[in-house]
Structure formats: C-alpha cells, structure tokens
Amino acid sequence: MSTNAELQEAVAAAQKSDIVLMNGFVDEDGDIHDDVVLREMLHPEEKILGSKKPDIEKVLRNCIIRLGPYTDPMEIREKVWPQLVKGDGDHLLIELRKLSLLNGNVYTFGAVCPLKRGGCGRETSEEFDLSEVGFVDVPDPELRGRREFPFEIGKHTIKFRHLLMSDAKMIAEISKSEDDQLTKSLALRLLSVDGETVQEHMPKAKTELARLKGAVKWLNKVVPAWKYREHIRGELKRAMARPDIIVETDCEHCGRRFRHPMPIDPTFLRPSLEE
C-alpha cells in the first residue's frame, strides 16, 4: 500500500467536526459559504509543527476537508484561503486544537506583565478554557458579506479590507518592531485610494514587504491624522465577527491586573512538552 493511500485511510478514519463560520467565504456572486468540515491533526501535521519554522496556516489548511461546496485541496488553497478572514481562521484554530489534543480545550500559556504599561515584565501562568470561548458578532447582518470598506478622508476615498489569515506570515515578519505595528497592520489592509490600487501605485515593488513599505508611506500621506486611523481601525474591527480571546490576568509577581489577547501561535497547536 502506498503512503498516499495510507494517509487517505487515516483521513477517512479521523475524527471530524462540523463548524459554522461567523463571517464565511464570499464567492464571486456574493454568496456566503460558512459551513466547514474540519478533521483532527494527523502525523503530517505533527511533522509541520515540529519543523524549525512551523507553518500554522498550512496545518489548518490541511485539516479543512470541506468549506461550503469546496472540497478540492488545491481550490481551497488557491481560491478560499486567500479570502478567509482572521476571525474565522482563529475560530477554526480553536476548534482544531479541541479536536486534536487530549484535553485540547484547556490551554495554558505564559502571560507577560506589560513593562510599557507600568508592569514588571515577568510571566504568570494563565489557563484558558476553550470550551467557554465566546464570540463577538457584527452588529449589522449586512456587514457580514462585505469585504471592502470605503472611507471618505479629506478629499480622498480610501478603501480597506479585513485582516486575512494569509496575512499571518507578513504580520510575523513586521512584528520585529512593535512600535509601528499598528500603522503597518493598517497599511496591510489598504486596498486603494481614489480607485488606484496599491499594485498600480507601486508597480516596481517586487516583494510583499516592499509593497507594504510603500503602502505605509502612502497611508501616512493620505491619512496622517491619528483620530481618522483610530476610526478606521474601529470600524474594521466592528465589521468582523471573531472569537473573544481577551484574557484578564492578575500578575502573580506584582499584583497588577492586565488585559491581553490569548496567543494563537504555532505553540497553540502543540501538546505540552513537559512530561
């Protein structure tokens, strides 16, 4: 029996879960597909997670058996994945952990007391019960199928999009310096200014990173004011449903209470290595 046939057999026997996405995939006709069949992680995913640069996106993609009418892995990768919003991706990762690990609903991680907000910089062990995770829905159902968000700023019409799961790699890349991460994360979502797309504006930018740097400059020029940026961020956040992963921790060293998002990174999908 070939390895491929063995894997297919393992996939057929794997435990599966039906999930309804809060945002969903919007096809070219504007129809929303939100029903997903997810399978538990198997040995190929263990190999990916054990590598030096674990690709959490690939792990999740592998485990999507079906999304709406799409079952072909190539089609899921090329067509659906590039449009999957972060709120839905985080939702799927939470379900994948619960489905794949023994006691997968209990997630223990280190929460660092924030130095920048007057904390002590030390770590407190925090436990989150994933079976109790809540969701933040969009206030207006019409927002659910929207993927482009125009804003009138000064004399410009500026369009933004949601943060996507496929942005994760770029975000990891830009996270080296935390200070301008807010700006870069907004520039990443910039689609067009007065109908001119980022691609058209920077035809010479060859790499994604070069394009992002150009987009930051462009954003700084057309939306220089903080209050407008805050407004745009707020509206984009309101328009995307997402799991509520904000945790409140009491620092066990200095007693300070701080709020922070539960980290969903490659270690999120791995069992504890302590034995």
C-alpha–C-alpha distance, residues 258 and 262, integer Å:
12
d(CA 137, CA 27): 21
Least CB distance from residue 110 to Zn ion, whole Å? Answer: 12
DSSP code of 270? S
Tell me how far, at minimum, the Cβ of 263 lies from Zn ion, in Å.
Answer: 18
Q: How far is the CB of 126 from Zn ion (least distance, A)?
A: 13
In 10 A of CB 159, how many CB atoms?
Answer: 16
Tokens of 64: 């999507």
Closer to Zn ion at the Cβ: 95 or 126? 126
Cβ-based nearer residue to Zn ion, 165 or 251: 251
| Nearer CB in complex with Zn ion: 212/251 | 251
Helices (H) and strands (E) in the chain, counts: 10, 13
Binding site for Zn ion (CB under 5 A): 113, 119-120, 251, 253-254, 256
Specify burial of residue 37 (Cβ count, 10 A radius: 0-12, 13-18, 19+).
Answer: middle
Least Cβ distance, residue 257 to Zn ion (angstroms) = 10
Q: How far is the CB of 132 from Zn ion (least distance, A)?
A: 25
- State which residue, 113 or 262, has the beta carbon closest to Zn ion: 113
Q: How far is the CB of 127 from Zn ion (least distance, A)?
A: 18
- Smaller CB separation from Zn ion, 55 or 123: 123
**Which whole-number Å values give the CA distances from 56 to 47, 92, 96, 166, 246, in the listed order?**
11, 12, 11, 11, 21
- Please check whether residue 192 is in contact with residue 198, taking contact to mean a CB–CB distance below 8 angstroms: yes
What is the rounded distance in angstroms from the CA atom of residue 131 to the CA atom of residue 95? 9
Nearer to Zn ion among residue 92 and residue 251 (C-beta): 251
Handedness of CA 23, 179, 249, 102 (dihedral sign): positive
